[in-house]
Amino acid sequence: MTPFLMEMAWLVLKGVMALTFIAVSAMFLIWLERKVSARIQNRVGPMITGFHGALQSVADTVKLLLKENIVPTGADFWVWWLAPFFVAVPAIMVFVCMPFGPSAIVCDLNVGILFMCSVTSVSVLGIFMAGWGSSNKYSLLGGMRSAAQIISYEVPLLLSILVVVMEAGTLSMQGIVHAQEAGWFFLKPNLLVAFIIYIISATAEVNRVPFDIPEAESELVAGYHTEYSGMKFAMFFVAEYTNFFIIAGIAATLFLGGWLGPLAPSPVWFLLKAYGIIFFLMWVRWTLPRLRMDQMMSFAWKGLTPVALLNVLVTGWLLVIKG
C-alpha cells in the first residue's frame, strides 16, 4: 500500500472514531441530562431500560427511527429539508480539531480554534432555516430569537477566546494545551474572568437554560424544531447535545489544560474535565429560571461585551509588561 493510501486510511479511521464518539456521547448526554434533572427534582429518572435506564437513549433512537417524517403544509420544502444538516454537519466538523490526547486528534490545524468558532457559527443559519421553512409562527419566533441570541453572544465568546489566544500565542488546539504545561490557564486572574465569560456566553450559544429563549417550551412549544419529527428531529437533538459537548470540550482545552493531567491517560483527563463542565451546566439548567429576551440581550451587550473587551485590554497590557 502506498504511503498516501495509508495516510488516507488512517484519516478515515480517525474520522470514523470521532463520529462514533459523537453518537455515543450525544446518547450518553441525553441519558445524563434526564438522570441529573430527575435527581435534582427528587425523582429517579429512567429505570426500566437497562441498568438504571442506561439504554433509554437507544430505545428513544429506535423510536425516532421508526417514526413518520411529517412535512408541514406550506413549508418551504428545501429550506425545511436542509436545515437539520446545516445544524448537524458543523457540529460534527468541529471534532476535526478536538484534542482528546497528544496524538488523539483527527487533524491538528494551525488555525484550530478559529476553525472551530467559524464552523459552529454556521449552525445559526440552520436554526434560522428551520424556523423559516416550517411556516409556523413558533418556529419562526424561535429561529429569529436564536439568530439574535447566538450572534450577540458570539462577541463576548470570541473576545474571551481571544484572551487565551493572546496568552498562548497560537491558534492550534494542541499548541494551546502545550502552552498550559506550566499552569492551567484559569488559574490566572484575567483568564479566570475570560473563563467565566466563556461559560456564560457558551451556555447562550447552545441555547440552554437560562438562555433557552429560542426553544422556550412554555412559550414557543419547542421553538425552531417544533415542526420536525422522526430522524430530522433526532438530528437537531444530536446536534444540540454534540454542540453541548463541543463547548465543554473547548472550555476544557482552553482553560482547564485539556488532556494535561497526572497519572491517568490523557483522553481520560480530557473527558473528565469536559464532563465536569457538562455536569455543571446541567446543574445550571435545572436551577436557574429563563431570562427575558431583552434582559438577555442587554446582558450580552451591556454586561459581558464591555467586560470581555476590558479583559482583552488588560491582558494586552500584562503581556506587554512581561515583554
Task: Kindly list the residues in this chain that would bind other proteins in the complex (CB under 8 A).
Answer: 36, 38-44, 47, 283-284, 286-288
Q: How far is the CB of 294 from other proteins (least distance, A)?
A: 17
Compare residues 2 and 41 and give the one whose CB is closer to other proteins.
Answer: 41
Compare residues 36 and 116 and give the one whose CB is closer to other proteins.
Answer: 36
Q: How far is the CB of 209 from other proteins (least distance, A)?
A: 12
What are the backbone dihedrals phi and psi of residue 165, each rounded to the nearest 5 degrees, phi first?
-65, -40
Q: How far is the CB of 307 from other proteins (least distance, A)?
A: 11
Compare residues 204 and 238 and give the one whose CB is closer to other proteins.
Answer: 204
What are the backbone dihedrals phi and psi of residue 90, each rounded to the nearest 5 degrees, phi first?
-60, -40
The three grid cell numbers given for residue 182, joined into one nine-digit string: 506550566
Compare residues 200 and 256 and give the one whose CB is closer to other proteins.
Answer: 200
Cβ atoms of residues 114 and 125 within 8 Å: no
SS3 210: coil
Q: How far is the CB of 39 from other proteins (least distance, A)?
A: 5
Q: How far is the CB of 234 from other proteins (least distance, A)?
A: 27
Long-range contacts of 112-115 (CB under 8 A, 24+ apart): 112/171, 112/172, 112/173, 112/174, 112/175, 112/176, 113/161, 113/164, 113/165, 113/171, 113/172, 113/173, 113/176, 113/250, 113/254, 114/171
Cα 167 from Cα 222, distance rounded (Å): 40
Compare residues 36 and 176 and give the one whose CB is closer to other proteins.
Answer: 36
Q: How far is the CB of 13 from other proteins (least distance, A)?
A: 40
Compare residues 32 and 94 and give the one whose CB is closer to other proteins.
Answer: 32
Compare residues 133 and 210 and give the one whose CB is closer to other proteins.
Answer: 210
DSSP conformation letters of 281-293: HHHHHTTSPPPPH
SS3 95: helix
SS3 188: coil
DSSP conformation letters of 1-39: --HHHHHHHHHHHHHHHHHHHHHHHHHHHHHHHHHHHHH
Q: What single letter denotes the amino acid at residue 197? A: I
Q: How far is the CB of 47 from other proteins (least distance, A)?
A: 6
